[in-house]
């Protein structure tokens, strides 16, 4: 397999950090796809959250939460692409960029798990946990970037 990767890269060896960055991008795209595929489930979840208090707001909240998750997902994908570009160009600030995106992405993912209204989570638990998965790839990427020279 490494021979195939080397041929695809014009004969250059792919670093482990680049693989971790690529995996992070794929995981980020999968979380975006999960939001798109689960739009109905998110709206149903929010109907349950608002049913007792503000049933008229459930539909509106569903659109807001889905839009928010998609915007965060797209910004995350842009962060992965920027980090991949910086790593490929061997910029001095690649590690700082990767650390910055790791911290921001993890904070947003944890916030998604913590945001509540009327005592219930706004983002379904399974989707909030799925949002943390790209951060694991980010942790691997940061670790591997520090090991590279």
The reply to whether 11 falls in a domain is: no
What's the pTM value of the predicted model, to 2 decimals? 0.88
> Within 13 Å of residue 34, how many CA atoms lie on the same side as its CB?
18
The reply to whether 4 falls in a domain is: no
The reply to whether 84 falls in a domain is: yes
The reply to whether 21 falls in a domain is: yes
The reply to whether 8 falls in a domain is: no
The reply to whether 1 falls in a domain is: no
More confident residue, 56 or 74: 74
pLDDT higher than threshold 70 for residue 53: yes
The reply to whether 7 falls in a domain is: no
Q: What is the pairing mode between strands 116-117 and 120-121? A: antiparallel
Average pLDDT score over residue span 86-91: 95
Retrieve residue 114's tokens: 């913590």
In sequence order, which ranges of 38-57 are alpha helices (DSSP H)? 39-50
Q: What residues make up the domain containing 58?
A: 16-147
Q: How many domains does the chain have?
A: 1
Hey, what's the torsion of the CAs at 81, 77, 23, 142, to 10 degrees? Answer: 70
The reply to whether 68 falls in a domain is: yes
Give residue 100's pLDDT: 98
pLDDT higher than threshold 70 for residue 137: yes
pLDDT higher than threshold 50 for residue 93: yes
> Which residue is associated with the tokens 């349950």?
48
Instruction: Count CB-CB contacts under 10 A for residue 11.
Output: 7
């Amino acid at each position: 397999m490494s021979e195939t990767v080397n041929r695809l890269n014009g004969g250059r060896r792919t670093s482990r950090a680049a693989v971790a960055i690529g995996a992070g991008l794929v995981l980020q795209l999968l979380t975006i796809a999960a939001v798109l595929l689960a739009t109905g489930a998110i709206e149903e979840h929010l109907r349950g959250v608002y049913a007792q208090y503000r049933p008229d707001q459930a539909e509106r909240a569903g659109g807001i939460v889905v839009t928010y998750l998609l915007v965060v997902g797209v910004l995350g994908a842009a962060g992965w692409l920027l980090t991949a570009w910086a790593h490929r160009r061997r910029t001095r600030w690649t590690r700082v960029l990767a650390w910055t995106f790791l911290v921001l992405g993890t904070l947003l993912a944890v916030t998604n798990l913590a945001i509540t209204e009327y005592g219930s989570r706004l983002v379904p638990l399974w989707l909030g946990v799925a949002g943390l998965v790209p951060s694991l790839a980010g942790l691997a990427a940061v670790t591997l970037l520090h090991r590279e020279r």
